[in-house]
Amino acid sequence: MRWLCAITLFLAGCRSYHPSLPELDIPTQWKETYPEASQAYNEKNRFWELFEDPILNALEEEALAGSFDLQIAASRIDQARSLVLRDHSERLPKVDLHASFNQDEMLLNPRNFGSPHHVERVKQEQYSLLGDFSYELDLWGKFKAKEQSAKYQLDATEWEYEFVYQTLVTDVALHYLSLRTLEEEIDYLQQAVGLWEDRVHLNQCRVEAGLNSEIDVSKAQLELALIQGEIIELRHRHSLEENALAALIGKPAPSWKIPPGVLPKNIPDLPPVLPSEILIRRADIQSALAKVSAGRSDVNVALRNYFPSLPLTTSLGLSSPFISHFFEWQARYWGYALNLLQPLFDGGKRKSEVQQTKARFAEYFSSYQKTVNQAFKDVEDALSSLHYLGLQLEAQNRAALAASDTYCLSEEQFKTGLISYLLVADSRNTSISVDRQTIALKGQRLMAWVRVMKAIGIQK
């Protein structure tokens, strides 16, 4: 018996899958400059609250409560959990209650009646009530490996739920910031429309007085129409962003509108995060890693199909051809069987299953490596955007100040008759364009901060 146990453990170990995998290249520091955070920085799990915007906070709460994506991800967790229970049940005995009634009619041997020409058909009834017990000995660990695979798949599904959560809250913040940026641009251009309307009226008066030419009126009308067209385009984009937010929070777009608000002014600090911490913080990486473990367990299940199966079955109950004697002690019935089943030839089916599971494991591992590399790229891209948008915004602020000064000077010179109105219009257009770009850069920098938070992994 000891030799049998030793051989069993040895064979099970020989048929386990232990592939040699390449090590991941984890950088020790970021290539892009990571913003310095305070030593006392306390990372806030609900990062959007750092903006101190009550409307954004309310939208995030609505999204977490009403998002269909989160509900779908939660349903997948329930499905994966039920698969774990199913695979665990295969390791447990099965007990069934079997009740039956059989009636057979057969031709008896004519020699029993003394005459070869005598034929007799006899009916036979049988009543049975049996408890069936079946159990397959898991000597090779096949059912244990199946359950482990299901558990790893459950872990992957739970991490996928976390990734959906991370994507949802960041998408809500990104659409919200984009929408507020568009609102600021629209407000600014509406002020410019009022100014150009005054310019059109002023130039018409100057033409009537003989001080200006018709071309000045035409120029002012042209600029007014262009700005009005830009406002229409921005309102279209605003509508699309509002519809996207409605879908994210689980509201019908036709009946939902966002309350008025303003674009946040300041960018919060970032938590200090090393490259190696990304492997733990990112939900998509953890999900991919769980799938790698599940793939390895699937290969072990396929390998263990080469070993014989040892099902044990027993039956205990009552069986009698007479219903009147069915519950008597003489009607008792029992039986048991221990079978050994060793497939010898299956046309390469088990071999193909092993090859398939190994290929799937290789796919999972390659996907894991790709996910890790993509995570580092996401962080570097987001840090680069945050860094260079900050520098660009500084230059844009200087440009906006210079454009405003140029417009003021041209306005003064026009009033004294030193320059034509066309130069005033050009300087005003330049000032409007620079101011619009400044507003857009402020919004893009805020969104870049959100993308950094998403890239490093939001802690729930």
Tens of pLDDT, residue by residue over 163-219, are 999 999 999 999 999 999 999 988 888 877 776 666 666 666 666 666 566 676 677
Which of 156, 398, 197, 418 has the alpha carbon at shortest distance from 297?
Answer: 156
CA distances (Å), origin 96, targets 83, 120, 269, 338: 22, 38, 63, 18
Residues (pLDDT < 50) of the chain are: 1, 3-4, 6-10, 12, 39-40
The pLDDT value recorded for residue 203 is 61
The pLDDT value recorded for residue 165 is 93
Helix residue ranges, H only, 22-141:
54-66, 68-89
Contact 126, 321 (CB under 8 A): yes
Q: Mark 416-439 as b/e (b = at least 16 C-beta within 10 Å).
A: eeebbbeebbebbbbbbebbbbbb
- 97 DSSP β-pair partners: 131
Contact 168, 248 (CB under 8 A): yes
DSSP 169-180: HHHHHHHHHHHH
The pLDDT value recorded for residue 3 is 46
The pLDDT value recorded for residue 285 is 94
Contact 379, 452 (CB under 8 A): yes
**Quick one: which H or E segment has residue 317?**
strand 310-320
CA distance 197 to 257: 30
CA distance 275 to 142: 38
Residues 6+ apart with CB under 8 A from 401: none
Q: Mark 242-273 as b/e (b = at least 16 C-beta within 10 Å).
A: bbbbbbbbbbeeeeeebeeeebbeebbebbeb
Helix residue ranges, H only, 212-348:
214-248, 278-281, 283-304
Which domains does the chain show, CATH number per domain? 23-91+138-307+342-456 (1.20.1600.10)
Which three-class secondary structure state does DSSP give residue 134? strand
The pLDDT value recorded for residue 270 is 85
- The label of the residue with tokens 């892009």 reads 32
Contact 212, 257 (CB under 8 A): no
Query: What is the number of other CB atoms lying within 10 angstroms of the CB of residue 323?
Result: 10
Query: Would you state the structure tokens that stand for residue 17, as one six-digit string?
Result: 């899958």
- 335 DSSP β-pair partners: 315
Residues 6+ apart with CB under 8 A from 338: 310, 311, 312
The pLDDT value recorded for residue 214 is 66
The pLDDT value recorded for residue 286 is 94
Contact 126, 101 (CB under 8 A): yes
Say what the pTM is: 0.81
Burial of 280 (0-12, 13-18, 19+ CB in 10 A): exposed
Which three-class secondary structure state does DSSP give residue 128? strand
The pLDDT value recorded for residue 1 is 47
The pLDDT value recorded for residue 78 is 95
CA distance 233 to 230: 5
CA distance 299 to 15: 10
CA distance 98 to 131: 6
CA distances (Å), origin 296, targets 91, 134, 147, 299, 309: 20, 29, 12, 5, 22
Handedness of CA 399, 403, 404, 408 (dihedral sign): positive
